[in-house]
Amino acid sequence: MLRLLLLCGALGCGAGSDAAPLTFIMLQWTQVSKGSSVFWGNATLGGRLSHILEDHNVTQVLPLEPPAVWAQQRDMVANYLSYFSGIVQVFSKERPLNYTQILHCRLGCCLFPNGTAHSFYEVSLNGTAFLTFRVPTATWELRWPRRDPVATFAQRELMKYSETTHNLQHFLNTTCVDILRAQNPQTGKQRGRSHAPLVLGLILGVSAVVGMAVGIFLCTGGSC
């Protein structure tokens, strides 16, 4: 499934042999099982591992941000993930679920040698394509193969917070692409070294998942 998604992404970026784009990709998994949540994932910049997420712990592998700045952001992520786990625990006490759900997010952007950029955010649930974020319109689109009240509810929940969708749009369309431009001055106007908060993407990725997970919990527990 992952290989398939990566293939889709590569096609989405139009990766040809002569015009290979520079990419930043974040992969993130959230497993919710019997009231507990586990997170893992990583990010790659130009094919090199740049970040690792293990449980509540995010590590910067490439020195993209100064240590003091990074330490603050790392704490933000840890707090956020703890908060998320807490919510899931509360929900599952109210409506116990004894099965496992895995949400997988794949988000990022690519920059072609001619300066054109492309961004993407795809979510799958239990290995099936679930939602896609359309950057130009800042909207979530349903990919779920069946008409399903859970999927419809989750999409509606995500669309409720326009601040989040606009932040996400900005992150994917601007912050992400600036990171790539800062790596390679030839592929666009040099804007100086990017100090864009990379971690923002992780947080937005996870915050989208919170809305979704809460929606899924509410729905699978009975009423939407």
- Residues contributing to the site for ligand NAG (CB under 6 A): 14, 19, 27, 40, 42, 44, 49, 57, 59, 97-99, 101, 112, 114, 116, 125-126, 136, 150, 169, 173-174
Residue 8, Cβ density class (10 Å: 0-12 exposed, 13-18 middle, ≥19 buried): middle
52 or 87: CB nearest ligand NAG:
52
106 or 207: CB nearest ligand NAG:
106
147: left (phi over 0), alpha (psi -120 to 50) or beta: beta
Cα dist. 111→79, 159, 181 in Å? 32, 28, 8
57 or 79: CB nearest ligand NAG:
57
36 or 59: CB nearest ligand NAG:
59
Residue 217: which of 127, 101, 91, 100 has the closest Cα? 91
User: Are the CB atoms for 116 and 126 separated by under 8 Å?
Assistant: no
* Residues with Cβ within 8 Å of residue 200, at least 6 apart in sequence: 167, 171, 175
42 or 92: CB nearest ligand NAG:
42
H/E stretch holding 155 reads: helix 149-160
